Amino acid sequence: MPIKVIDQLPAVEALSAENVFVMTESRAQSQDIRPLKIAILNLMPNKIATEIQLLRLLANSPLQVDVDLLRIDDHVSKNTPPSHLNCFYRYFSEVQQQKYDGLIITGAPLGLVDYEDVTYWAQFGDILRWADHNVTSTLFLCWAAHAALYQYYGLQREIRGEKLSGVYWQQVTQPLCPLVRGFDDEFLVPHSRYAQVPKQKYQQHDDLHILAEADVTGAYLLQNSSGSRVFVTGHPEYDLTTLDEEYQRDLAAGLNPKLPENYYRNNDPLQGPQKLWQSHAFLLFSNWLNYYVYQATPFELSQIGQSA
């Protein structure tokens, strides 16, 4: 899929070097095509790295995608240059009168912070309520998935005794669901979090369906009945070295982290990590775009939410 982004976005050069088809804004204007409008609310500290990860996955489909990068109003990012944010990002308040075919909300390093203590918790709730009427389908990643499950269903997370960090096998539980079409019975996914919601809490809500899970990680992939809300509790978008960077960061901070499981060759950091989850990540995003966005969205963006 050609991804339409602003010409000078750093991700363009990085993805072009991987032979990923990224269409700049100036090139896209010459095509008479109704692209999918996708917004990415990027809550991760290293926003540039996350941009590259998500745009790489969105590119694996034959349709054109027009991407808007969003940020929270009145929230200062400490790890991304203001010049980058001012050039490539829009505040949510600037787009809340618009409609989108799809929305992706990333994780955030807030696993040990109470939801109500998050500085942008109120606007996070505003965004979810806006998405229900202005977005065809929203994909929530890691922290955003648990936070959205709390906002929508009142499902309070539990904090694990130690951080879940590593690459874990997941089992498909509903193989006929379009979101997992083409998945193997078991597949690998990176996880990096403290939070977990017990399975019995999910089962109290008829509108929630677990599509993939594992004993050690709990539910990994869930959706509501209509597919307008998709919850991913892991990090399929992670690069090869992301878990290693987090591990080295925690080591340097004196947190005595546990070695990420099933990640390094022979469980030896000196031998380096191996990437065993990329095919699943591409298929997950491709299925979401096809079955939950492209097949479900109206041709006219103005019609989104009219039946909500």
Say what the pTM is: 0.89
163 is in an annotated binding site: yes
Q: Which fold has domain 3-157+198-234+277-301?
A: Rossmann fold (3.40.50)
Rg (CA), the chain: 19
99 is in an annotated binding site: no
The upper half-sphere exposure of residue 209, i.e. CA atoms within 13 Å in the direction of its Cβ, equals: 19
pLDDT at res. 62: 76
Residue type present at position 97: Q
Euclidean distance between the first and the last CA atom of the chain, given in angstroms as a whole number: 29
Contact indicator for 143, 185 with CB cutoff of 8 Å = no
pLDDT at res. 28: 47
Token pair, residue 56, equals 């790489």
Residues 6 or more apart whose Cβ sits within 8 Å of residue 103: 38, 39, 40, 41, 131, 135, 137, 138, 139
What are the tens digits of pLDDT across the range 293-304?
Answer: 999 988 788 788
CA angle 140, 72, 236 (to 5 degrees): 25
As a whole number, mean pLDDT of residues 72-83 equals 84
pLDDT at res. 77: 80
Mind telling me the catalytic residues? 142, 235, 237
pLDDT at res. 263: 98
Identify the bridge partners of residue 89 per DSSP, sorted by sequence position: 69
Helix, strand, or coil (residue 150): helix
What is the C-alpha to C-alpha distance for residues 169 and 176, in angstroms, rounded to an integer? 19
* pLDDT tops 70 at residue 73: yes
Domain boundary assignment for the chain? 3-157+198-234+277-301
* pLDDT tops 50 at residue 1: no
* pLDDT tops 60 at residue 22: no
- Split at pLDDT 50, 70, 90, the class of 9 is low
CA angle 39, 118, 239 (to 5 degrees): 50
What are the tens digits of pLDDT across the range 120-174?
Answer: 999 999 999 999 999 999 999 999 999 999 999 999 999 998 999 999 999 999 9
What are the tens digits of pLDDT across the range 160-214?
Answer: 989 999 999 999 999 999 999 999 999 999 999 999 999 999 999 999 999 999 9
* pLDDT tops 90 at residue 247: yes
Q: Indicate the DSSP class of residue 258.
A: P
Contact indicator for 232, 193 with CB cutoff of 8 Å = no
307 is in an annotated binding site: no
Contact indicator for 141, 193 with CB cutoff of 8 Å = no
Token pair, residue 22, equals 């990224």
Token pair, residue 244, equals 């290693």
**Separation in Å, CA 104 to CA 107, 168, 232, 245:** 10, 23, 11, 23
The CB density around residue 249, as the number of other CB atoms within 10 Å, is 11
Percentage, residues of the chain above pLDDT 70: 89
pLDDT at res. 24: 53
What is the C-alpha to C-alpha distance for residues 95 and 6, in angstroms, rounded to an integer? 17
Percentage, residues of the chain above pLDDT 90: 76
Three-class HEC string of 78-141: CCCCHHHHHHHEEEHHHHCCCCEEEEEECCCCCCCCCHHHCCCHHHHHHHHHHHHHHEEEEEEE
